[in-house]
Amino acid sequence: MSILASLTPRSGLRVLVTAGAGGIGQAIARGFVESGARVHISDVDPAAVEAVVGGAITGSVADASNEAQTQALFDEAQDRLGGLDVVVANAGVAGPTAPVSEISQSDWDRCIEVNLRGAYLAARFGEAELRANKGLFIAMASVAGRLPFGFRTPYSAAKWGVVGLAKSLAVELGPQGVRANAILPGIVEGPRIDRVIQARADQLGISFEEMRDRNLAKVSLRRMVTAEDIAAMCLFLSSPGGSNISGQALSVCGNVESL
């Protein structure tokens, strides 16, 4: 196999992507389909799932933080696809933007539940198939999982946990041929980051544009990344060329220096 060919995932991979009906998740799902994979997605929004499914994409309605719903999701995905080669634990929420003293327990818990418990449940219910197929687990973390993030403490705490989960799974499951990695997106352009920027701008009493510029000043390349950038990393990790990458926290961020 040539080096160039090794950068493309083999055709026929069976992939599950949580929160795959929009944003980063949808870009990942469509990227895998372009490479010849069959993909099963989940989302909490039935209409969003219905809008994406078709062709090589099937889907389920499921809350990534709910044990019973996640188990049912994996059962349906395995039934539809005949097994799993790649699991992408992508589900996440931004959580509150506030000083820690003003964050309610319910807001804290919900952020941890979706971002960290969701990744754990995906690993728990996916590991048997991944062991059987020497597969790949990808956990979606954030640059907030390698940098401190004031006023976003539950989000940062969860994403540091996601990195620890992926690294630990790499050690635990590596002897069975399973790889596990975390991807750390930076500032990903789109409606979600716009809401986060607006919330912090409102706190500081400045405009959206000024807050956005302040954020980008912390990025060496002075630009946001795209959902397609994150999807490309997922595809590379799933390719023969990525077959010896495991236990890593891989930033796709334009070099975010601080948050």
Task: For the chain, give the number of residues.
Answer: 259
- 93, 139 contact by CB (below 8 A): no
CB atoms < 10 A from the CB of 126, how many?
25
Active site residues: 155
What's the rounded Cα separation, in Å, for the pair 137 and 237?
10
C-alpha closest to that of 87 among 75, 74, 76: 74
C-alpha closest to that of 117 among 99, 139, 137, 102: 139
Structural Rg of the chain based on CA atoms: 18
CB atoms < 10 A from the CB of 210, how many?
12
CB atoms < 10 A from the CB of 110, how many?
16
Coil, strand, or helix at residue 57?
A: strand
Helix ranges (DSSP H) in 3-139: 23-34, 46-52, 67-81, 105-112, 118-133
